[in-house]
Homo-oligomer: A and B are copies of this chain.
Amino acid sequence: MQLEKLVAYHKALADPTRIRMLILLSEGELNGQTLAQRLSVTPATITHHATKLRAASLIQERRDKNTIYFSLDDYFIRTSGSATADLIYRRTAEGSAGEVDPTIREKREKLRVSVLKNFFTTEGRLKSIPAQLKKKLIVLEELVQRLERGRKYEEKEINTFIQTFHEDFATLRREFIMHQYMFRENNIYELNPPELWQRWETLK
């Protein structure tokens, strides 16, 4: 049955330790001992979780001597669009060391300007929602920065806000959440701190 596979997939991702495992693996392959140490659990626990992640085709293994190295299954890495993959993949995009090459910064700014020019009308309305993730994020960030930090918004307010730019408020509202620009609780929306935003600059 088909249903069961879906459930198994979500079960695999329904545990904090396993997600943290995937996040660690997104920076490169690691063996069981190391994973155990980094996650403060025993090797037995790693084996347990590895079994489930493997069953869901989320990780792969490679053996070298006595040691088994785990890594993300490319099957999984490729995803962007699921919030989960976002969280895990985002970190790999940019090395945690800061400092950006000035040439790179220039390029980014150029891209940003060009996206804004192409996707917004002269009146400032959004012509269409970019399909390409990087461009979409530029647009989302552009919109979201017009919201007030720390203020709580009703769903209706958000809808109205979005509609001044684009008719499809449901999609955009959802994208705000998915890419961590906002969060919602009991239908109240609020801006996330920018550290949590999915930033387009970090995508390769």
Nearest neighbor of A8 in chain B, beta-carbon distance: B14
Contact A16 to B2, CB < 8 A, known contacts A81-B81, A82-B81: no
A132: interface (CB < 8 Å):
yes
Distance of A97 from chain B, by nearest CB (Å): 22
Distance of A168 from chain B, by nearest CB (Å): 9
Distance of A59 from chain B, by nearest CB (Å): 13
Interface size for chain A: under 10, 10 to 19, 20 to 34, or 35 or more residues?
35 or more
B173 touches A75 (CB 8 A): yes
Is chain A's binding surface mostly helix, strand, loop or mixed? helix
A10: interface (CB < 8 Å):
yes
Nearest neighbor of A13 in chain B, beta-carbon distance: B10
A83 touches B3 (CB 8 A): no
Contact of A57 among B7, B9, B131, B184 (CB under 8 A): B184
B75 touches A170 (CB 8 A): yes
Residues of B contacting A3 in the complex (Cβ-Cβ under 8 angstroms): 16, 19-20, 87
**Could you mark each residue 1-33 of chain A with 1 if its beta carbon is under 8 Å from any beta carbon of chain B, else 0?**
011111101110111100110000000000000
Interface core residue of A13, A20, A132, A173 (most chain B CB under 10 Å): A13
Residues of B contacting A10 in the complex (Cβ-Cβ under 8 angstroms): 10-11, 13-14, 84
A84 touches B14 (CB 8 A): no
B81 touches A6 (CB 8 A): no
B19 touches A84 (CB 8 A): no
A196 to B1, CA, bound (A): 11
16 contacts between A and B (CB under 8 A): A2-B87, A2-B180, A3-B19, A3-B87, A6-B87, A7-B13, A7-B15, A7-B16, A9-B83, A9-B84, A10-B10, A10-B13, A14-B14, A74-B170, A75-B173, A78-B174
Ranked nearest first, the 4 interchain pairs of A and B with the lowest CB-CB distance are A10-B14, A131-B131, A81-B81, A10-B13
